[in-house]
Structure 1
């Protein structure tokens, strides 16, 4: 798991060969003007999902993880926290779906809260369970982009 500001994205482009294109999408687009939906960047290798929503109480959210894709979760507007835990510390609640590339987990005894403000991102790898969209201090209207990067 990595957390940082978008202005520092160049520090991470060598982690995976496709991260550079993913970060270019975030830097080269006015996210506030993008409609919610899916945006292809490089076919199914890299694509973005633009989302608008209101944060929810942590108890209403579930941990998830992905096997085929790395997530970059970038906050364009609002504040939220994302709970994080290594998947080995959690109990599977809903088995991995190859079709949807997601597994869901029950809360465990070990997790950390990652506070995200505007222009911050988190990168989640397959062993990183994450619970996005949680209310930080008060309910917040979020504009977010989740960039999915296929593991090469």
Structure 2
């Protein structure tokens, strides 16, 4: 797991391929915030991004997920949320695949949390269980950009 803020991107010491992707002008906070909701996938690219509004909820009502083939880069564009997570490898835990590469953990162990505000991002590698969209106080509206980066993209450029 890596966390940082788009305005201080160099401080996150990201792998070069991720740093280059997030440093693009079209991925700055103002540009992403101004972009319409929906999916972005440039022609010929294997990564994609989904921009959408959401609503936070009490952690007890939120699911915990992990992925096997994709990294998640979750960027908060508006609002505030808490994301609970574990640095342990969840790929050996019992989980249900609800969508392609979306595995839901029944009894997660999430000893860590990060509070996100606009411009903050968190990156989860395959196997890192995370529970996003947890409310800070009362449930509230947020808007996020979620980049899905195929693991092969990092391995090919390593």
**Range class of TM-score, shorter chain:** 0.7 to 0.9
User: 1:14 Cα shift?
Assistant: 5.1
Question: SS of the residue aligned with 1:84?
Answer: strand
Please identify, of 65-74 and 105-114, the stretch whose mean Cα deviation from structure 2 is larger. 105-114
Match of 1:93 among 92, 95, 100: 95
* 1:26-75: CA deviation from partner (whole Å, max 9, x where unpaired): 21752332222111136452211001011111112111111211111000
- In the TM superposition, residue 19 of structure 1 has moved relative to its aligned partner by 4.3
Structure (1/2) with the larger helix percentage: 2
Q: Deviations over 1:61-102 (max 9, x none)?
A: 1111112111110001000011101234984231486xx112
Alignment partner of 1:63 is 2:43: no
1:64/1:6 CA distance change after superposition, 3 Å? same
1:141 shift after superposition: 1.1
Q: Does structure 1 residue 77 correspond to structure 2 residue 88?
A: no
How many residue pairs match? The answer is 150
Contact conserved, 2:80 with 2:118, CA < 8 A, in 1? yes
Matching of residue 120 in structure 1 with residue 120 in structure 2: yes
- Equivalent positions of 1:1-150 (< 5 A) are 1-12=1-12, 15=15, 17-24=17-24, 25-27=26-28, 30-41=31-42, 43-85=44-86, 86-88=88-90, 91-95=93-97, 100-150=100-150
User: Which is richer in strand?
Assistant: 1
Gaps of 5+ in 2: 154-158
TM-score normalised by the chain length of structure 1: 0.83
Runs of 4+ aligned residues of structure 1 deviating over 6 Å after TM superposition are none
- The answer as to whether partners of 2:85 and 2:131 remain within 8 angstroms in 1 is yes
CA RMSD of aligned residues (A): 2.5
Q: Is the CA contact 1:31–1:76 (under 8 Å) kept in the aligned structure 2?
A: yes
CA distance in 1, matches of 2:27, 2:35: 11
- Native 8 Å contact 1:89 1:110 kept in 2: no
Tell me how far 1:119 sits from its aligned partner. 1.0
